[in-house]
Structure 1
Amino acid sequence: MPRSAPRNALDRLRTPRGLHGFLKGASVCALIAGLLSPLSPAMASDTDSAEVATAAAPAEDHCGGQCSDILPPGQNGNATLAQILLNQAFGTQPAHAEDQLGPYANLATGYSALTNDKIDDFFNDASFGVPAGQVASTVRPAGRGDVTIVRDKKTGVPHITGTTRYGTEFGAGYAAAQDRLWLMDLFRHVGRGQLTPFAGGAPANQGLEQQFWRSAPYTEADLEAQIESAAAKAGERGELALADVDAYVAGINAYIDASDRGRYFPGEYVLTGHKNAITNAGTIERFKRSDLIALASVIGSLFGAGGGGEVANARSLLAAQEKYGVAEGTEVWESFRQRNDPEAVLTQREGSFPYLPRPDDPQGRALPDAGSVQEEPLIHERTGSAATAGAAGASTEAAGAAVTSARRGMSNALVVSGDHTASGNPVAVFGPQTGYFAPQLLMLQELQGPGLSARGASFAGLSMYVELGRGQDYAWSATTSGQDIIDTYAVELCQDDYHYLYRGTCTPMEKVERKNAWKPTVADGTKAGSYTMRVWRTKYGPVEYRATVGGKKVAYTSLRSSYLHEADSIIGFQMLNDPGYLDGPERFRSAVQNINYTFNWFYADSEHTAYYNSGDNPVRADGVDAEFPVWARTDYEWRDWDPDHNTARYTEASLHPQSVDQDYYISWNNKQAEDYPAASWGNGSVHRGNLLDDRVGKLVAEGGVTRAALVRAMAEAGLADLRAEDVLPDLLKVIDSAPVTDPEARTAVDRLKAWRAAGGLRTETSAGSKQYAHADAIRTLDAWWPLLVKAEFEPGLGSGLYTAFTANLPVDESPSAAHGPTGAHAGSAFQYGWWSYVDKDIRSVLGESVQGPLAREYCGGGDLAKCRDSLLGTLKEASGRTAAQVYPGDDNCSAGDQWCADSVIHRTLGGIKHGGIGWQNRPTYQQVVEFTSHR
């Protein structure tokens, strides 16, 4: 059975004792009946003016019924207190809370027989409008005559149609609050570093607010200034964006007022003490412009800010130089860093796009003295119990556990040009992986109004435009690209630890604080507490570490090009939604060039495909190596850097990876193009992007690609074990270099070979069995991988350097790899790990050709027989480990339950909980598109 005690109010409500204590003796049914007496969205209109359900005339639609999408678990992310209690007591779900979860999950077992006419068994029809017979409701928010929100019966997605632009955006804000008010409120507090006063002091809540606020420690003045600053640079479009934001915020606030009057606001407000279920006392704070910037700072930090890590790089370089000497140590370090590996799979396969080349004579490096680095403390003046829990504790623990993985990026894209499709029209299957949460961070919507015509997904609270989706005759999507836009500067201290040299002048650091206190949570009986979060800011960004460099005391700061510019991307999204502007691939690229976050953008219409890599890439000073900290001196600053506004000279658009009508594109957070290094480690010969490239490349070679064929390729890649497909064959070559005489090892080898011959997939024996085919082989590889990596590399590297390199790049991210940064049940897998190192090293030991090899051979010291002995020894050890040892169990799964260990669980950010689904390594929101005509 799942283990661990309840940790917060919602967890306790899930137990009979906790529920009984919360109800204080009242029966569940009686209380729920009483709570249902106020109006709720499930049984009454949630607007000031409701109308008979009617369908609005759809906008011009060139998809011909061939656009589909999916976003689990469901569109409805709000629940009243009664609905939350029903869910916790009986497992019932509010309408449209999880109706997209089943179709999404079923693709894992249904993809192999997929045909074009069956696609919408696993996706939603994403055509514009709602057929008359499918209209569930039509409302005019706040009684306005210039906008209607129509929801369809199948999914409850809002189709917002306005006769004025203000009304359209007002409706977008209203619909967002209808579907995600609690989530939006939660994350505007996360972005401000004030989650614990809002939702309680659970350790997970503390960790979440600390993690985000450290990278974006904005004052309220910073937040308020950013939208106006972004708009001022964009002329008429900027003025339009400000008006859109104001209308959107007004719509959110209109829903807050209406739900307060009707008493159908989200029940989490009651559970966290903000509202009284009986008297309706208490308030829900209205939204303002700056709340959207707080939300944007969280999303940008998660998905659009590549780079950083220079201090960790410096530590591992020093460890390599200590081990081997400066020259050889640097060579070893570079071979593991794989800045520009010639065997890496590429998205843009033609042309060179040089960015941040390794300088021959690095200038300005500020490497720390050995052992001197200390992380800057964030928390001060702590009081009370660290274990205090709030009602949102379960939710924010979930988010905290998945944040690191999400920041690394998890999205994918498959786009095939019309030259290789059955219809002659391009086909695309693409979408972002934003983690699995309940409610989801993204929400679906359709926007139709003056200058707006799009359907797709947007981040809750930022949905004044569709951010990923389709227009009238085109579709677009993105993956996290992660190129380096963050640098670490070493500022020399002067006078004391809180003054630094800025362009020759001793300058005080700016202290920014959040003094957070939380109340005791009655349902848990936990104590109140408080602490102060403190960040010291410099012109070169917030302080992250302290150290000495050549005996001088320094502070290491982190400077991000999008810092103080969280709103700048708004103009690009506005353009993507504008049918009068976006008429083809060139306008598409012009639009996404206005997005300052680091993304790969993909486009398809009925004639063309396109790709562009966005982000404000600062131009570094000559000779600066962006992999390492540099001195905070004028000679090493970004070119044309304005410290007061954090602007600089950025690389020209022509220098970003881009193309039109490449035969096909794939992206899975892999290397973008030749000479364009990713900021993260691990872009080498084996990357999960290969799983897509191999399959799509084969389809293109055969020709006649269909939507169903491309979905099948995506789905199969999302079930493949990267290690089994691309590394295991070479490992078995080494083992097979001599007969395997040990019976236990022979059995393990035979199982692995059988699994590999069957495709190396992590799939169920049959739909719903919750048992893996080849379960023993999968268990063996899961246990073997960390053992073989350690045995292969640690003897040659030494424990110090091996540990330093694993800090740069964890050895594994299998679906059940709770030991990695992802944690368990997060869906994504095989994004980062030592598979390229193992692959290159094993091939070298086998005497095979390797481009960009490691500087040394490590397995068995380069001796094939010794390498084989090492692999067999660790394999035998792994095969002897039980399922309970390999999958030790957690709050959701019993020890030894292999399928459950891998399962995807939507982590609760509110009061509604969903069951787990089988593992799939695929986007959260996903589109399948093929346009039949063009305007």
Structure 2
Amino acid sequence: MSRLSRTVAVFAVAAVVGTGLTAPPASARHAPLPEPAPDYCGEQCHDILPPGQSGNATFIELIGHLLFGTLPKHSGDQLDAYDELAARYSSLTTDTIDEFFNDHSFGVPADQVERSYRPREDVTIVRDKSTGAPHITGTTRSGTMFGAGYAAAEDKLFLMDVMRRAGRGTVSSFAGGAPANRALEQQFFAAAPYTEEELQQQLDDVARKGERGAQAIEDLESYVEGINAYIEKAHRGRYFPGEYVATGHIDAITNKGRIEPFKPTDIVVLAALIGAQFGGGGGNEVQNAIARLELHERFGVERGEEIWRVFRAENDPEAISTIHDGQVFPYGNAPEDPEGVVWPDRGSVIEQQLVFDPTGSAAERVDTAAKNAAPRRHDVPRPDSDDQTEVLRGIFDDGVLPESLGRARGMSNALVVSGAHTDSGHPVAVFGPQTGYFAPQLLTLQELQGPGISSKGASFAGLSFYTLLGRGQDYAWSATTAGQDIIDTYTVELCEPDGGPATIHSSSYLFRGECVPMRTVERHNEWEPNLGDSTPKGSYRLVSFRTHYGPVTHRGTVDGKPVAFTTVRSTFLHEIDSIIGFQKFNDPEAITSAEDFQRAAHDINFTFNWFYVDADDAAYFNSGANVVRPPQVDPSMPIASDPAYEWEGWNPDDNTARYMSFEEHPHSINQDYYISWNNKQAPGTAGALPEKGAVHRGDLLDHRIAERLEAGDTFDRVSLTQVMAEAGVTDLRAERVLPDLLRLIDTEPVDDPELAARVDELREWSEDGGRRVETERGSHVYEHASAIQLMDAWWPLLVRGMFEPELGTPAYQALTDVLRINESPSGWQNGEPGLQSGQGHQGSAFQHGWFGQVSKDVRVALGDDVPGGLDESLCGGGDASACRQVLLDTLAEAAVTPAEEVYPGDAECEAGDQWCADAIVHSKIGGIGHKKVTWQNRPTYQQVVEFPSRR
């Protein structure tokens, strides 16, 4: 068959599937409009969610996108406005703010209705013209929840389907064994390896939590009914997502096949996946122990502990905190003389095996580093494809799950100014979560109105029976990931039931004096090549070994005895418990004040920073199932599995314990301002990772607000948005570390004229704001491009040059396993000079890095008084002149590093293309991709709100 005839055949198949049926039948589109709910925002609420609301595409729309780049309606219509703010924020006004954000008011004006319809008699869904988002109004509560499920499936069904399988560890069986699919299902299964009985038990436990618990389960069940109603109608009408054809689940011509209905336990799986990804902290204790051991080996215990203390930055006196009003909230700190710490034997630790019995393509190693270095292409039409399979291979040739989905990220950011410091006298907030850039977006927009519920905003697709981040009638709220330590590592001694000698591979362990078998939870994945998958057939088993103290993550020896290291998470077996707090957020009768909101947030066991505003008050609360540990336990280290070191009140049967009270959680009302960019919550609260130290990206927000308030200025929605946007295009290293590096260099003249010129380039960039912005909109060339390239090349060389000679290679590399050295917009590095370890186009940057560690060490070398620093610098062995030479030598090496090495290129970009290396790419979970947009360090869903009145 010729290429032309094959292409015609593709369209013939697509036409059978997609004949005019890209939406529900027209007869369903003319339901009467409901009366809008009370709204006290006065058109002063705005939001945005790129790339767009719609995440479903029919088979014919997938073909059109792959061949010609066309996009389904509302799949990308918020991307340009989001992109534009990076270039135009400085000229923003109250009259132009709606050019960059959507109207976040309740209801839809009659002239803005795109369609209205009733999926069943007790609910009306209205879609607006601007975003296509659903405004759902139920005459019954069940109808409201049913409508939420129906609308979620309309917009994001395939995404929801893939995610429920990712959480169960069964993506490969569903969509093929591509390396990305396998890598992600392994990661998520390892975090929450539940049986179906345990998933159901979570639902049963919530149902017994009083009236709200019973109502939550009824809401969830009605929501699932709505999802399944859409699945049935869409399948019958042939307007279901085209990916089901591409994955071979439905025949394009006969319509035979099946979209598996959703179950309530699928919602628990999604909650577990999202909670593990965004709402936990800790679990890095084995890596911490290995790094400390290497420091002890190099320097001895006393000096090694001094260096660890500075690197760890557990309670760095220079760290900014969200709470800065004098309150102190101790949590997660190491005692001076800890007990029960377990030190693994050097070189003995191995990761727990997860994959067993691989056959076929499963026997190929999943190389995460290689995938990081070369992400897949997302938006390349294939008009010269030879046949249908080749055309569709653009959808799933690398899997349905992008590697970036599993990358830890912060939910940033929040800027809130109390009414005492605003032009209007009402609090102003600019806040939103950073959930990554995906196509479709993990979040979905909605308005929910019905008995006991009145809200509008964003929710994770598949969890949208409540609005998770958004606004009520006269209040708004948002969150950032907090990451305080709710995960501990216990060390269990391995044994054999017959009393024989144990090995590190033994599958029994000592629990309170008895040798008991580990519990295993298994998933079997088997796949055949499907229509859009080039991966050969294969299969494997995933096996999680579980103990009373949680899943096994590592094995090794301690004093020669074989042990297993396990992680127990306080939210393990309890992810769905947070449903009650979210239910309250949506209930106008439950939230009538800032303290009501804080109390509701306390019902959420995930580790989030919550921010709230109404017309009078601004508030903050740090949620999480914060366990009460024995005072002698160091939560940053592996702990002996002894009852003396277990959480207070811990019940191993259901993983419950004693938790910190409301009063012990960081919280505040009407502090002058609040910022959060995943920084330290409050003085006394330890971070689970050592990035919350002397230099943190939160500094970019904090000083911009603090300095204006100190000068007597006030804020409005525009000026607060501008603070966010300017910080979002600023290189943290240039603003907060480079000035001190230049101070040390400037202690003597730079003799080499060429090197002196490069130093001046860096100085000019820093003095001009250290921003990564285009020369003009759309130029794809940065201002100060040469200086930016120099910094990107210099940083990994600088960090290694400053620290490795003194630390020694084993300790330096071990510390980079605890905290990678850099997370710049163009990628992240983990210790190797000049190596671009990952170039994920992820948008969010500068969360992780040795920024504070470099800053402190350079200032110590300069002779500054550095709170929390060492007595003498590691750089240059404590000699300032030698440290200065390290800076110059590494800078000279960076200056001759070709752009092609600094920005090595990938499937998205040519090597050496600086702007492209930084650019944001929406990673595909399905068949629709989007254009690259300029980098900005900004939330993916964002609200700008100011309430002029209240109930």
Match of 2:39 among 61, 68, 74: 61
Deviation at 1:664, TM superposition (A): 0.1
Structure 2 vs 1, CA of residues 397 and 726 (structure 1 numbering), >3 Å: closer, same or farther? farther
Map of 2:379 onto structure 1:
none
How far apart are residue 396 of structure 1 and its match? Answer: 5.1
Q: Distance in 2 between matches of 1:327 and 1:934?
A: 58
| 2:146 is aligned with 1:166 | no
Structure 1 position 28, deviation (Å): 5.5
Query: For the Cα contact (< 8 Å) 1:419–1:663, is it kept in 2?
Result: yes
Q: 2:812 corresponds to which residue?
A: 802
**Structure 1 residue 520, shift from structure 2 partner:** 1.9
Partner of 1:3: none
User: AA paired with 1:618?
Assistant: V
SS of the residue aligned with 1:359? coil
2-structure distance, mates of 1:391, 1:583 = 50
- The one-letter code sitting in structure 2 at the alignment partner of 1:439 is P
Tell me the equivalent position of 1:660.
669
Of the candidates 923, 930, 934, which is equivalent to residue 946 of structure 2? 930
Q: Report the alpha carbon displacement of residue 696 of structure 1 after superposing the two structures with TM.
A: 1.4
Name which of 37, 58, 61 aligns with 1:83.
61
Whether 2:846 is the aligned partner of 1:830: answer yes
2:289 is aligned, of 298, 303, 314, to: 314
- In structure 1, distance between residues paired with 2:6 and 2:459: 41
Superposed, 1:496-511 pairs within 5 Å as 496=502, 497-511=506-520
**Could you tell me how far 1:392 is from its partner in structure 2?**
6.2
TM-score w.r.t. length of structure 1: 0.95
The answer for the alignment partner of 1:597 in structure 2 is 606
Per the TM alignment, residue 393 of structure 1 is displaced from its structure 2 partner at its CA by 4.1
Matching residue within 766, 777, 799 for 1:789: 799
The alignment partner of 1:352 has SS state of coil
d(CA) in 2 for partners of 1:524 and 1:356? 46
After TM superposition, list the pairs within 5 Å mapping 1:529-608 onto structure 2.
529-608=538-617
Letter of the structure 2 residue corresponding to residue 474 of structure 1: Y
Contact 2:524-2:542 at 8 Å conserved across structures: yes
Determine if the alignment matches structure 1 residue 257 to structure 2 residue 257. Answer: no
Asked if residue 888 in structure 1 is aligned to residue 887 in structure 2, the reply is: no
- Structure 2 counterpart SS, 1:488: strand
Post-superposition offset of 1:554: 1.0
| Correspondence for 1:124 | 102
Distance 1:291 1:434 in 2: 21
Q: What is aligned with 1:374?
A: 350
Superimposed CA distance per residue, residues 518-538 of structure 1 (whole angstroms, 9 cap, x where no aligned partner): 112355554210001111111
Q: What amino acid maps onto 1:850 in structure 2?
A: V
Within the candidate set 16, 20, 45, 2:25 is matched to 45
1:562–1:597 contact (8 Å) kept in structure 2: yes
Output the amino acid matched with 2:633.
V
Q: Which residue of 1 aligns with 2:273?
A: 298
Which residue is 2:422 aligned to? 421
Q: Say whether the 8 Å CA contact 1:599–1:615 is kept in structure 2.
A: yes
Alignment gaps of 5+ in structure 2: 367-391, 497-501, 831-836
Conserved? CA contact 1:394–1:908, under 8 Å: no
Quote the Cα distance in structure 2 between the aligned partners of 1:696 and 1:460: 34
Tell me, yes or no, if structure 1 residue 147 matches structure 2 residue 150: no
State the distance in 1 between where 2:728 and 2:86 align.
9
> Does structure 1 residue 197 correspond to structure 2 residue 173?
yes
Contact 1:682 1:834 (C-alpha < 8 Å) held by counterparts = yes
**1:181 matches 2:163:** no
Match of 2:204 in 1: 228
Q: How far did residue 786 of structure 1 move?
A: 0.5
Secondary structure (helix, strand or coil) at the match of 2:824 reads coil
- Name the CA shift for 1:106/1:345 in 2 (closer, same or farther; >3 Å): same
Aligned to 2:375: none
Say which SS state the counterpart of residue 236 (structure 2) adopts: helix
Opposite residue 45 of structure 1, the aligned amino acid is P
Q: Which moved more, 1:681-690 or 1:858-867?
A: 858-867
1:916 to 923, 927, 932: 932
Equivalent of 1:847 in 848, 857, 863: 863
Q: Is the 8 A contact 2:313 2:692 kept in 1?
A: yes
The code of the aligned residue for 1:246 comes to E
In structure 2, distance between residues paired with 1:124 and 1:733: 45
Q: CA deviation at 1:391?
A: 7.8
In 2, Cα distance between equivalents of 1:276 and 1:521: 12
One-letter amino acid matched to 2:434? Q
Equivalence map 1:440-479=2 (5 Å): 440-479=441-480
CA displacement 1:104-155 (0-9 Å, x = unmatched): 00000010000112111000000000011000000101xx221100000010
Deviations 1:36-63 (A, max 9, x none): 326221xx528xx614265322110000
Task: Give the aligned partner of residue 777 of structure 2.
Answer: 767
TM-score of the pair, normalised by structure 2 = 0.94
| Aligned residue identity for 1:310 | E
Residues 1:434 and 2:435 are matched in the alignment: yes
Question: For 1:873 and 1:798, how far apart are their aligned partners in 2?
Answer: 19
Aligned to 1:135: 113
- 2:724 counterpart of 1:714: yes
* Residue identity in the other structure for 1:152: D
Q: Supply the AA of the counterpart residue of 2:639.
A: V
The aligned amino acid for 2:402 is A
- Any idea what SS the aligned residue of 1:356 has? coil
Compared CA separation, residues 798 and 614, structure 1 to 2 (3 A): same
CA distance in 2, matches of 1:796, 1:755: 31
Question: Identity rate of aligned residues, in percent?
Answer: 56
- Deviation, 1:401, is 2.9
1:463–1:525 CA distance, 2 compared to 1 (3 A)? closer
The 1:394/1:752 distance shift into structure 2, 3 A limit, reads: farther
RMSD: 1.7
Q: Structure 1 residues 525, 652: CA separation in 2 closer, same or farther (over 3 Å shift)?
A: closer
Select which of 404, 407, 414 maps to 2:407: 404
Q: What is the one-letter code of the residue matched to 2:652?
A: P
Distance 1:889 1:74 in 2: 28
The one-letter code sitting in structure 2 at the alignment partner of 1:643 is P
How far, CA to CA, are the matches of 2:899 and 2:152 in structure 1? Answer: 44
Deviations 1:246-278 (A, max 9, x none): 100000000000101110000000000000111
Task: Give distance in 2, aligned partners of 1:733 and 1:53.
Answer: 68
Secondary structure (helix, strand or coil) at the match of 2:480 reads strand
Which of residues 747, 758, 778 in structure 1 aligns to 2:757? 747
Query: Letter of the aligned partner of 1:414 in structure 2?
Result: L
Instruction: Look up the equivalent residue of 1:532 and give its one-letter code.
Output: R
Q: Which amino acid aligns with 2:330?
A: P
**Contact 1:402/1:822, CA 8 A, preserved across alignment:** no
Q: Is the 8 A contact 1:297 1:566 kept in 2?
A: yes
> Which stretch shows the higher mean deviation, 859-868 or 482-491?
859-868
Where 1:454 maps in the other structure, the secondary structure is strand
Mean CA deviation greater in 235-244 or 520-529? 520-529
Deviation digits for residues 629-661 of structure 1, max 9, x if unmatched? 111111111111111100000111111110000
Partner of 1:646: 655
834-843 vs 878-887, which deviates more? 878-887
Aligned length: 908
* Contact 2:66/2:394, CA 8 A, preserved across alignment: no
1:323 maps to 2:303? no
CA separation of 1:394/1:163 partners in 2, compared to 1, >3 Å: closer, same or farther?
farther
1:98 to 76, 82, 92: 76
Contact 1:55 1:135 in 2 (8 A): no
1:352 match: 328
Q: Deviations over 1:471-494 (max 9, x none)?
A: 000000000000000000111112
Q: Secondary structure at the match of 1:582?
A: coil
Whether contact under 8 Å (1:395, 1:909) holds in the other structure is no
Partner residue in 1 for 2:743? 733
**Counterpart residue identity of residue 778, structure 1:** I
Q: Specify the alignment match of 2:485 in structure 1.
A: 484
| Residue 574 (structure 1) shift | 0.2
Question: For 2:786, which of 748, 771, 776 is the aligned residue?
Answer: 776
Task: Write the distance in 2 (CA, Å) between the matches of 1:362 and 1:750.
Answer: 49
* Counterpart-to-counterpart distance in 1, 2:739 and 2:631: 44
